Amino acid sequence: MDAKAAEHGLAIFAEHTADARNCPGAHPNVDRLLAIAAGGTPLSIEVIAVSR
């Protein structure tokens, strides 16, 4: 997940973004998006198929 994807995530979770900025730790996933959007290390995401 790069900065562009993090910005998109912040837009989706906009109702939590302001609270996350004011209360770090209250929304850890939004905190991670904020860090990536600000130039932090992007996340590597691996999709694992579930066999049924």
The string of pLDDT tens digits covering residues 14-32 is: 999 999 999 999 999 999 9
List the chain domain ranges.
Answer: 1-52
Q: At what angle do helices 28-37 and 14-22 cross, to 10 degrees?
A: 90
pLDDT band at 52 (very low <50, low <70, confident <90, very high): confident
Q: What is the pTM of this model?
A: 0.81
User: 2 near 43, Cβ under 8 Å?
Assistant: no
Residue 27 exposure: Cα atoms within 13 Å on the Cβ side: 18
